[in-house]
Chains A and B, each alone.
Chain A
């Protein structure tokens, strides 16, 4: 897969004081190389930045985002981008741009889309399947499911269905206004 090729191109630069979980004998900063598009560039820059956060970034002694979580996010989101690129115009309209990334204490990672009062979040913590959630500010909608990203193939169809629903809901709101 394309995302696998990106990850295989990852190089590790020995820089003291930056952590990378899973390589306990040395300290590294991760730099991911690969073919560049705006989306790819954004993902890599954002994820590399979060993997390079200083220890204690949250004020509660948290380590930076673990490489395995960043890798999983890159794998999943590159897959979604690939779906978008291979889709017709109709589907391209409903799939939003790349999400925001937020570190979570302990090395976990959250990707989140803010879509005019609708929110879609992906929670990567490395020890369990990715948790996907869809909700509104007023909590009238709250849905959740788990995504298994352990294999080469990821079934993101439920996630895509959420984006289609949000697109339809926003259109209905505009028509009603």
Chain B
């Protein structure tokens, strides 16, 4: 079990690189139908959110063993090693939610909050593989 990290005064997890998520751990990113354009997964699926720390949500494969990625909001999912975002100086952390204990985030944070760049997003996309494949859709 991973230990939870510091939260700020708004109860939002502060960006960190979690020592319990090793480079060979898998990160899973669910793909929504609206992330698919022109039969491709958009790089938008790998961009920062507009939350205060501009994180990108993922599920930690070491915790998530039963979540379905082809029902509800998802039509599939991709997976990547935790080493991939770290190659590009991004942080990989643990941010459990009441509805999802496996929830983690990828941040671009060095004391200041920054958006994940297009280059970093494309690097993660290119180094991802299908976890749950979407038929007739290219990943890269």
A residues apposed to B, CB below 8 Å: 50, 53, 56-62, 66, 100, 102-108, 110, 112, 114, 119, 121, 123, 125-128, 131, 133, 135, 137, 139, 142, 144
Contact = CB atoms under 8 A, between A and B. Distances in A.
B48 A114 contact: no
B111 interface: no
Q: Which of the four size classes fits the interface of chain B?
A: 20 to 34
B43 A110 contact: yes
Interface string B126-139: 10000000000000
Contact of A60 (B48, B57, B117): B57
A57 B35 CA distance: 10
A105 B50 CA distance: 7
Contacts of B38: 100, 114
Q: Which among A105, A123, A133 has the highest number of chain B CB atoms within 10 Å?
A: A105
Given A60-B30, A102-B42, A144 B49 contact: no
A112 B30 contact: no
B140 interface: yes
B49 A108 contact: yes
A135 B34 contact: no
Interface in B37-57: 37-38, 40, 42-44, 47-51, 54, 56-57
Contacts of B57: 58, 60, 105
Contacts of B117: 131, 144
Given A62-B49, A102-B42, A110-B47, A142 B122 contact: yes
Contact of A57 (B40, B73, B97, B126): B73
Contacts, number: 96
Contact of A102 (B37, B48, B74): B37
B74 A128 contact: no
A108 B50 contact: yes
A105 B44 CA distance: 8
B37 A108 contact: no
A105 B73 contact: no
B42 A59 contact: no
Nearest to B50: A106
A163 B117 CA distance: 21
Given A104-B44, A125-B50, 17 more contacts: A57-B73, A59-B74, A60-B49, A60-B103, A102-B35, A103-B44, A104-B47, A104-B48, A106-B50, A108-B47, A114-B38, A131-B117, A133-B119, A135-B118, A135-B122, A139-B122, A144-B119
